[in-house]
Structure 1
């Protein structure tokens, strides 16, 4: 069995992080920070033409760096 490359390690980290975030879990990386998902409700916005529209609800990934 060969030693995994840095690229292999990063791909594995991304896979695990994505899966946890999709499941609503928070991912804390010691010495780096915390990834989490926040729900943003729908909101009324105004377009460049002056017409208003509803921006749909969505989930966004947020990152909070660890304070040193």
Structure 2
């Protein structure tokens, strides 16, 4: 059996992080920081004098570990 490539490891890591975030769990990576999902409510945005309603959404947020 061959050792996994760096690409394989990164793909597996991102799959796990995405699965956890999809279920509402935060993911902490020691020495790096934490990934979490924050809900953003709908609101009015103005651009070039045009006002638009931005839909509610969930955003992935990364918080670096202190001293990392």
Aligned to 2:15: 15
Say which is worse superposed, 1-10 or 27-36, in terms of deviation: 1-10
1:58 aligns with 2:53: no
Aligned to 1:2: 2
**Which blocks of at least 5 consecutive residues in structure 1 are unaligned?**
none
- Poorly superposed stretches of 4+, deviation over 3 Å: none
Q: TM-score under structure 1 normalisation?
A: 0.91
Q: How many residues align?
A: 67
Q: Residues of 1 paired with 2:51 and 2:6: CA distance?
A: 47
What's the C-alpha RMSD, in Å, of the aligned pairs?
0.9
Q: TM-score under structure 2 normalisation?
A: 0.91
**Which blocks of at least 5 consecutive residues in structure 2 are unaligned?**
none
